């Protein structure tokens, strides 16, 4: 990663923050972006204290003009762009019958369109460096999860987009990685949108029993180094993807029963 420039969206916390440190410790210069300037400034200061060269830029990836400005400023500052990590994302937690459709639109705008915007405007620069485009997707991009229909839809869309892009770029020298963590400890569940679009404010799962954001970031770093096509993480995640391909009806039941155990789950047991 020496002399590489890595742009990470949604880098003010969780996996994004961990990725900034993982790639930065390998010698890369890091461009971090997020919507919340205060949290972003804190991460930038922590990176600087760790001796990691970085640039913090406030941007909302669901706003096309923000993304154009983000890419332009990153390239103007460092002169190149080698790796784009599409990490910015939100989730939702509501039964479809109860949810305001605007919640689905907001999740799709950030998770999917944010990936489209960033990839589209970063791609000309990454073609020059024959670098990498990474999408931080989810097991929910392979297997739809109840009470998270909007999130699952956005990740299925991301997976299809990245697969098509990878095929388009087959002879370009550009690497495309679809990274799908299983349940990973982060604040994404705390910030999950409810049926009305308000943040939940608390997690419904035991965060301490999940893979840490730092471990997840290390796996993604290795996958980028080896230019892997796909990365599916956690034993539960790998098993879910495998079973869903071979025994989809059984997996319906297994997934339902697992998520019905969550705190205040609307699923009947």
8 Å CB contact between 240 and 142: yes
Alpha-carbon span 183 to 38, nearest angstrom: 27
How far the first Cα of the chain sits from its last, in Å, is 49
Which one is catalytic: 78, 121, 142, 151? 151
Closest CA to 181 of 18, 44, 56: 18
Question: Which distant-in-sequence residues (6+ apart) come within 8 Å of 93 by Cβ?
Answer: 147, 148, 189, 192, 193, 194, 200, 204
Alpha-carbon span 140 to 138, nearest angstrom: 5
Residue 41: half-sphere exposure toward Cβ, Cα within 13 Å? 3
Alpha-carbon span 99 to 73, nearest angstrom: 38
Told to judge if 151 belongs to the known catalytic residues of this protein, a careful annotator would answer yes
With vertex at residue 260, the alpha carbon angle to CA 230 and CA 158, rounded to the nearest 5 degrees, is 25
Alpha-carbon span 85 to 183, nearest angstrom: 19
Strands (E), 1-58: 5-9, 29-34, 54-58
Active site residues: 151
């Amino acid at each position: 990663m020496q002399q590489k420039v890595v742009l990470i969206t949604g880098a003010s916390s969780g996996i994004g923050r961990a990725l900034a440190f993982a790639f930065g410790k390998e010698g890369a210069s890091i461009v971090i972006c997020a919507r919340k300037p205060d949290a972003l400034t804190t991460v930038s200061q922590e990176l600087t204290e760790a001796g990691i060269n970085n640039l913090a830029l406030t941007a909302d990836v669901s706003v096309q003009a923000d993304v154009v400005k983000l890419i332009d400023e990153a390239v103007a500052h460092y002169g190149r762009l080698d790796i784009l990590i599409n990490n910015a994302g939100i989730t939702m937690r509501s039964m479809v019958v109860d949810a305001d459709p605007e919640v689905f639109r907001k999740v799709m705008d950030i998770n999917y369109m944010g990936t489209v915007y960033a990839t589209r405007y970063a791609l000309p620069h990454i073609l020059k460096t024959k670098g990498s485009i990474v999408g931080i997707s989810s097991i929910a991009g392979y297997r739809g999860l109840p009470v998270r229909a909007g999130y699952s839809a956005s990740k299925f869309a991301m997976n299809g987009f990245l697969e098509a892009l990878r095929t388009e770029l087959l002879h370009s020298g550009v690497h495309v990685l679809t990274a799908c963590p299983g349940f990973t400890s982060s604040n994404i569940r705390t910030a999950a949108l409810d049926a009305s679009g308000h943040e939940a404010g608390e997690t419904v799962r035991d965060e301490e029993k999940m893979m840490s954001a730092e471990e997840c970031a290390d796996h993604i770093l290795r996958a980028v180094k080896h230019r892997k096509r796909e990365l599916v993480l956690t034993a539960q995640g790998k098993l879910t993807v495998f079973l869903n391909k071979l025994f989809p009806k059984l997996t319906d039941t297994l997934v339902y029963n697992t998520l019905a155990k969550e705190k205040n789950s609307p699923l009947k047991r």
